[in-house]
Amino acid sequence: MINKGFYLGLGISFLLTGCDLIEYHPYDVRIDGETGINVKNIERIENACEGKDTIRFAFMGDSQRWYDETSDFVKHVNSQDSIDFVIHGGDISDFGITKEFLWIRDIMSGLHVPYVALIGNHDILGNGKEVFERVYGDENFSFVAGDTKFVCMNTNALEYDYSHPVPDFNFIAEEMTDTMAFSRTVAVMHVKPFDDQFNNNVAPLFHAEIKKYPSLQFALHAHNHRLQVTDAFNDGFLYYGCASMKERNYMVFTLTPEGYSYEVVYF
Amino acid sequence: MKWSTFKRILLCLLLLSVTYSLVAKETYSPGVEKYHTLWNKLIPRYGKIQYAGSMGFLSAGTGWAYGTNDQWETDLLIGIIPRYSSKRAKATLTLKQNFMPWKIKLNDQFNIEPLACGLYLNTVLDNEFWVKEPEKYPSGYYGFSTKLRTNIFAGQRVSYRYDRNDLNKKITLFYELSTSDLYFISGATNKYIHPRDVLSLSFGVKLQLF
């Protein structure tokens, strides 16, 4: 009896470990574990920041194939005090493969604070977009932390044709209708205007539209894998670009009633 | 798969079978015999079904065995990826090269092949995937193909001759561990990625009918 039980247990455990090894296709969009992360975490961020007049958040992006570095990033943020949330600026994956999203999801789930992720051009490859939508949610979304609204937009226009609006001006307009709920705005995107992926035909129009938001503070982007501060339209409005995880640094922004400041943190 | 592609494949198969039946009716002559041997070699003699292995949920197809001890096998498999959270189910095509260096006879009916290894190319038949980057991208923008995966594998096989009167008739069970080009790159450059994250286990059965 003992022997039978032992062998049965051995067999079952072999099958269970075997299950991890079963993959139908790198692009199969077969997803185990947590989904709908942005919606859940937005609720956490909005609840935690409600009524706060000072907001601190970390901004990073382009985790792509730098899993070790992203793991270290998570440890580093966890060791920091007073960060309210994290924004991943997109390019979660490198090849748009289903498992890549899940690896980064599992690493980022180690964060003690909630995070949201934007879609990057690499995340659209193959059927990566469908993985992103399942694991994180809509390509365009927003949330309010304290008195500040973060408008997060898909700007990876090169990955689409004209049947899909990127950037989506309807979304940008809709996000202006509930101005009672916030007094300041931050625009977040993976690709900034005038970069290779952006629909540069509408770059000035896009800039003019987002500047209509109440007290737009600055814009955030990833994609170029290096730290950048750009006055893209020579009007004094700044686009801040974070480096890739490979560079082992991230940005921390502090929004206070008087204004904002930022620092670059190396890990 | 596009309907036109399907029709083309069907037409090819029809032409092949008509040619074969015509050749088969010919009376004996040395030239014809040569044809016969050639055609004989081209007739697939087995069917294969494989579960998982990063080439589809289930793949099925046929192939050709050759070499002095039939140690080489080339398979052509068609697979299916169910829809899951994507927009639609997709078909895949796999071209697989197998190499079995050793065959160990256990008794009259059973033999094992302690190593079956090789590589396979897998392609997703879906228009959102490309082999070569579309022209809209600056050259070398992504530098890889979403449509074409190269996989390497190693596994083992056990065969059973189910008809004592016909030595060719046999059923073979096999399992394989494989990985693909992109997984290999990810695993090689990160401590976080364990071999179990990038290895793919599959099971299959091969049925040789004649």
Interface A-B: count of C-beta contacts within 8 A: 104
Instruction: List chain A pLDDT tens, one digit each, 267 residues.
Output: 445 555 655 555 555 555 689 999 999 999 999 999 999 999 999 999 999 999 999 999 999 999 999 999 999 999 998 999 999 999 999 999 999 999 999 999 999 999 999 999 999 999 999 999 999 999 999 999 999 999 999 999 999 999 999 999 999 999 999 888 899 999 999 999 999 999 999 999 999 999 999 999 999 999 999 999 999 999 999 999 999 999 999 999 999 999 999 999 999
B38 C-beta neighbours (distance < 10 Å), count? 10
Q: How far apart (Å, rounded) are the C-alpha atoms in residues A120 and A123?
A: 5
Q: Which residues of B touch A (CB under 8 A)?
A: 52-57, 79, 81-82, 84-87, 90, 92, 122, 124, 126, 128-129, 136-138, 141-142, 144, 146, 149, 177, 180, 182-183, 185-186, 189-193, 196-197, 199-202
- Token pair in block for residue B40: 């004989």
Q: Report the Cα A172 to chain-centroid distance in Å.
A: 18
* Chain B partners within 8 Å of A136 (Cβ): none
What pLDDT score was predicted for residue A1? 45
Residue in B closest to A71 by C-alpha: B192
Angle at A24 between CA A20 and CA A30, to 5 degrees: 75
Is B182 close to A26, i.e. CB distance below 8 A?
A: yes
* Chain B partners within 8 Å of A20 (Cβ): 196
* Chain A partners within 8 Å of B191 (Cβ): 68
ipTM of the complex: 0.88
> B58 near B75, Cβ under 8 Å?
no
Q: Which residues of chain B have pLDDT under 50?
A: none
What pLDDT score was predicted for residue B117? 98
Residue in A closest to B52 by C-alpha: A24
B161-184 burial code (b ≥16 CB/10 A, e <16): beeeeeeebbebebbbbbbbbbbe
What pLDDT score was predicted for residue A181? 87
Q: Please count the CA atoms within 13 angstroms of the CA of A181 that sit on its side-chain side.
A: 12
Write down the residue that tokens 């980064």 correspond to: A104
Phi, psi of A70 (to 5 degrees): -65, -35
What pLDDT score was predicted for residue A84? 98
What pLDDT score was predicted for residue B39? 86
Write down the residue that tokens 């793919």 correspond to: B200
Is B84 close to A95, i.e. CB distance below 8 A?
A: no
- Token pair in block for residue A130: 């469908």
What pLDDT score was predicted for residue B29? 72
What pLDDT score was predicted for residue B129? 97
Going by C-alpha positions, the residue among B132, B128, B12, B149 that lies closest to residue B79 is B149
What pLDDT score was predicted for residue B33? 78
Establish whether the linkage from the previous residue to A167 is cis, with ω within 30° of 0. yes
- Token pair in block for residue A135: 């694991």
